[in-house]
A = this chain, B = another copy of it.
Amino acid sequence: MTPAQRPHIVIIGAGFGGLYAVKQLAKADVDVLLIDRQNFHLFTPLLYQVATSGLEPGEIAYPVRGILRGMPNVCFLRGDVTGIAPDRKTVMVHTGHGTREERYDTLIVAAGSRTHYFGQEHLAHHAFGLKTLADSVILRNHILKCFETAAWTADPAARDALTTMVVVGGGPTGLETAGALRELYKYVLSREFAHQVDGLNGRVILIELRDHLLAPYPPRLREAARRQLEDMGVEVILGQSVIEAGADSVRLSDGRTIATHTLIWAAGVTASPIAALLGVPLRAGDRVPVHPTMQVIGHEDIYAVGDMAYLEDKQGEPYPMLIPVAKQQGILAARNILRRLAGQPPQPFAYTGFKDRGLMATIGRSRAVAWIFYRVQLTGFIAWLAWLVLHLITLLGFRNRLNVFVNWVWNYLTYDRSVRIILEAEPGAPAERADSVEDSEEQPGEPVGVILAR
């Protein structure tokens, strides 16, 4: 077929779902346009390590165009999807250089998920999310600034508030973040501030609404996780939620108040707002209901995959928001598009990974829980080793893997966290530049040219 006749497939999102779909389509006789608001693929499970100064941002972000090398039928557009018109078969994309309307024959929506406050949106203003690379750098800057301020704060109560970190959510992200924060304090910050200020605390409090951590895990591993956290000095509060948050405190559902400047929200995610642009009724978690073929119900030319897609397994449970699900759904959507073009019937989703591999969550140095193949229950060092190997394999890009490995070995041997830099614009730097290549018409009051100044 000539390029003009070739089917035009648009994919929204360069996460695992979108990229695995791209790979399936790269050698087919189709044109692909991949759209993402960022120019990099992000390995979200390690965001907490960037936030706690263990890894560089660039070590968990891989440039999309690097991934697309050798795929001459795939183009990339960096921009924000602001509209989908199924009747016109177009997608509206707001870019730094104007708004574009991109035509599609088939659309794959794979825009992932974002931090969700479950009806507690009033907390968002005082909470730090951990879903984007910017989130992780903003949180890193904030934590380091809290300690720099604490070092020069004479009042013990005010100082404690600066060095108390509250993490909400007893899932893997919450555990990992709480554990890493405590280690950052214990092995690094406490040593570097001790001679300058007496009585510096580094409280880390993990709050979970249920009466146990890690809901999908067997009881023995839930308990092991809690015990390992408490051994490290993390305070675990179960059966409570945060109902109010202010500049320097949070209030729990039992009325308790905790003085803190740092509320980290790891209590859940919801589908990207792009789901709502499809104009179909959404399901739990704002996810888009799809047929087992990954086609959006009511739109046979649109596929949704990964965190955004709502599909139930045989037990009537929606598939979880996990990387292997996104990968396999991305692959299936792409294959079903090609089958349809070839006049073949589509195939239904049959998830394999979840059953096969199991679950694991790391807590800290040599501390983790793992439920391998949903049979073997591991805790401590061996579970941690399994987690480490799995994540190194999943990270995209050899150089990233190598650097992450170097950093992990270094941090393990030295108890160090080398990336504890506060990266922000110089005070007094010009907040706005007239010659930005990006138009900022739509946010006239918003500044350009400022780094992280929180």
Contact = CB atoms under 8 A, between A and B. Distances in A.
Contact of A193 (B65, B138, B421): B65
A133 to B, nearest CB: 6
A260 to B, nearest CB: 10
A66 B449 contact: no
Contacts of A419: 58
Contact of A434 (B59, B126, B397): B126
A8 to B, nearest CB: 14
Contacts of A38: 421-422
A68 interface: yes
A324 interface: no
Interface string A101-141: 00000000000000000000000111000001110011000
B195 A80 contact: no
B261 A435 contact: yes
Contacts of A410: 399, 402
A313 interface: no
Given A58-B419, A69-B192, A437 B146 contact: yes
Contacts of A453: 438, 446-450
A88 interface: no
Interface string A29-67: 000000001111000000000000000111101110110
Nearest to A58: B419
Contacts of A247: 434-435
A149 B427 contact: no
Interface in A71-86: 72, 75-78, 80
Given A68-B192, A78-B148, A427-B80, A418 B446 contact: no
Interface stretch (A92-100, A295-303, A362-370): A92-100
Interface in A126-164: 126, 132-134, 137-138, 142, 144-146, 148-149, 151-153, 162
A446 B427 CA distance: 10
B61 A58 contact: no
15 contacts: A56-B59, A58-B419, A65-B193, A69-B192, A72-B195, A75-B196, A76-B151, A95-B149, A96-B149, A124-B430, A134-B426, A261-B437, A399-B407, A403-B403, A447-B450
